[in-house]
Amino acid sequence: AAHDLRTPAASLRTLAETALRGDTDSTDVHRRTLRLAEGMGSLVDGLLTRARLMSGTAVLAVEPLRLD
């Protein structure tokens, strides 16, 4: 999991450095930064859910599902 966070974090750092240098279109940098941040947020959410499931503190909502 740490590797899965390091790669997008390094990419965010590179995007921030590029933006500070002014080497690229800021709209593109913002779009890519947002996409990376959303991906990292999803990964963290998944890790937290897994930790809750493993510790037994998660509450699962069981609902009927129609299969027809």
DSSP string, 4-19: HHHHHHHHHHHHHHHH
**Structure confidence at residue 15 (pLDDT):** 85
pLDDT, tens digit, 9 for 90 and up, residues 24-41: 788 888 888 889 889 889
Q: Where are the domains of the chain?
A: 2-55
Return the pLDDT at 63.
93
pLDDT band at residue 64, thresholds of 50, 70 and 90?
Answer: very high
Is a pLDDT exceeding 70 seen at residue 1?
no
Q: What angle do CA 52, 8, 59 make, to 5 degrees?
A: 15
Q: What is the 3-state secondary structure (H, E, C) of 50-68?
A: HHHHHHCCCCCCCCCCCCC
Q: Please, what is the average pLDDT of the chain?
A: 86
